Amino acid sequence: MVTNSAIGNAAPTKSRPRNALAILAGALLMLWPALLNRYPLLYPDSITYLGDGRLVARALFLHKFSEYYGIRSFFYSLGILPFHWNVTGWPVIVLQSLLAAYVLWLVVRSLQPRRTALHYLILVAALSLLTSMSWFVCLIMPDVLGPLLYLCIYLLVFAPETLSRRERIALMLIAWWGIVSHATHLMLAAGLWILLCLLFLFRLPALRGRLLAIAQIAAILLFAAAAQLALHAYLYGEPSLNGVRPPFLAARVIADGPGLWYLQQHCGEPQVKRKFVLCDHLHELPQDPDEFLWGEHGVWAQADEDTEKRLRQEEVRFVLATLRAYPRAQLAKSAANFWHQLQLFGLYVFGPSDWMSQQFPTVLPHDRTQYLAGRQARDDLPLEFFTSLQYWTVAISLVVIVVLAVWMRLHRRPRLLGLAIVIVSTVLANALVTGVLSLVEDRLQSRIVWLVPLLAGLLLSAAFQRRHNIPD
């Protein structure tokens, strides 16, 4: 067996430059979609992440407060601000590629301590070409930080002996930034921690002696939640985990049907009409949550400040009232949304947007020409081809995982079993959280589904090692 000193703390000095070069090569491999596009990839939310950081920084460091700071993660906006300064977006995706390359290096090394560079580069090249991994690395959004967060949890819990002290600290910081960068990351990380606690209580062999590691994850979660609460309290005078968030749940149950049925049946009652401002918009409610929130004539988009406040305050009561009135119908619809989201992971999210090009003068005025010359703005990216490629890759990977997991008996390989637990649970939980509580769209599952081929690739590597009797 390879010990901690052999892997983490006392790696031969002469191998460190070679390892660094391998990580750098991995990062460069991940940047090909941006190079193909001739500009970092963007999504409408990218504009707000790029624009909000300066407002929050002014409030934090200059005490110049604003009435509104946006609805996205302030921590992601702050984290990328020193890398773009509203000048260019390229350094942001370079940062993300280096973080992804570094975390994947540690994951591969934890399972393949011999000839790590070769295994690593083959795996990164395959993932970059065949899956959505590199596309989300090149997207100015916190989406890629979710999968990196879950891989950090795997390393800190199931493979801490392969890490040096500096590496553990680095992973804790990456995990913390991943948690605070998106509300779903906090939910999924907390759910994964609860699962690990249950497996520990049921004495899963792979978690034997890992109580301290599980406690470290809890500390990261608590510190992340505390940071969110403190920052929102500082900016708005009221602690909150999500800040000024839109009523996603209300939009979801209305679009599903039961929420609309409830309003249609009860808005005629005076006490209900006073209770829910949605009754004033009964004939304007769309059957698409995206249209409800962001459409030109959507309820949220057209709401004034007082209506927005009431919609947020009444959301939980409205959703609970709907669930009490139509529990079976909502459960059936939520299950269908989960199943649909689980299977929806195309790359069509990287299409053009006139709104984004119009917003460039406010966030990246010097980059607008370069963005407009790119393939994304001209709707010229080969999204259909790479979507088809990803679907086939995921399908084949699922077969590989099932076959090799049975053949290799993962309980005899604690780290591989731990990685499988982390990946399978988070891929399923991501579809559940996003599909049931928010929107059903390609981006939300595509950002994490590349973990499935990652697991398949590492299983294949371990199977090759076992078949040829290569020692750990």
pLDDT tens digits for 310-351?
A: 888 888 999 999 999 999 999 999 999 999 999 999 999 999
Mean pLDDT across 367-389 = 95
Distance CA 451, CA 131 (A): 9
Burial of 414 (0-12, 13-18, 19+ CB in 10 A): middle
Give the predicted TM-score (pTM) of the model: 0.93
Distance CA 363, CA 387 (A): 30
Distance CA 313, CA 112 (A): 51
Q: DSSP 3-state assignment of 390?
A: helix
pLDDT at 13 over 80: no
The amino acid at 337: N
Mean pLDDT across 206-231 = 95
Mean pLDDT across 116-125 = 94
Q: What is the pLDDT of residues 260-281, one digit of tens each?
A: 999 999 998 888 777 888 888 8
Query: Between 273 and 364, where is the model more confident?
Result: 364
Q: What is the pLDDT of residues 42-81, one digit of tens each?
A: 999 999 999 999 999 999 999 888 887 877 889 999 999 9
DSSP 14: T
User: Among residues 111, 137, 175, 107, which one has the least CA distance to residue 29?
Assistant: 137
Helix (H) or strand (E) holding 397: helix 383-408
Distance CA 169, CA 219 (A): 13
Cα torsion at 116, 34, 385, 391 (round to 10°)?
A: 50
**pLDDT score at 469:** 61
pLDDT at 408 over 80: no
Distances (CA, A) of 246 to 112, 290, 294, 300, 307: 45, 11, 10, 8, 12
Q: What are phi and psi of 65, to 5 degrees?
A: -85, 155
pLDDT at 91 over 70: yes
Q: What is the pLDDT of residues 165-191, one digit of tens each?
A: 999 999 999 999 999 999 999 999 999
The winner for highest mean pLDDT among 232-236, 245-249, 407-411 is 232-236
Give the chain's mean pLDDT.
90
**pLDDT score at 451:** 98
Distance CA 345, CA 445 (A): 5
**pLDDT score at 468:** 61
Please name every residue paired with 41 in a beta bridge, in sequence order, or none if there are none.
Answer: 139
Residue with the two structure tokens 């699962």: 195
pLDDT bracket for residue 4 (50, 70, 90): very low
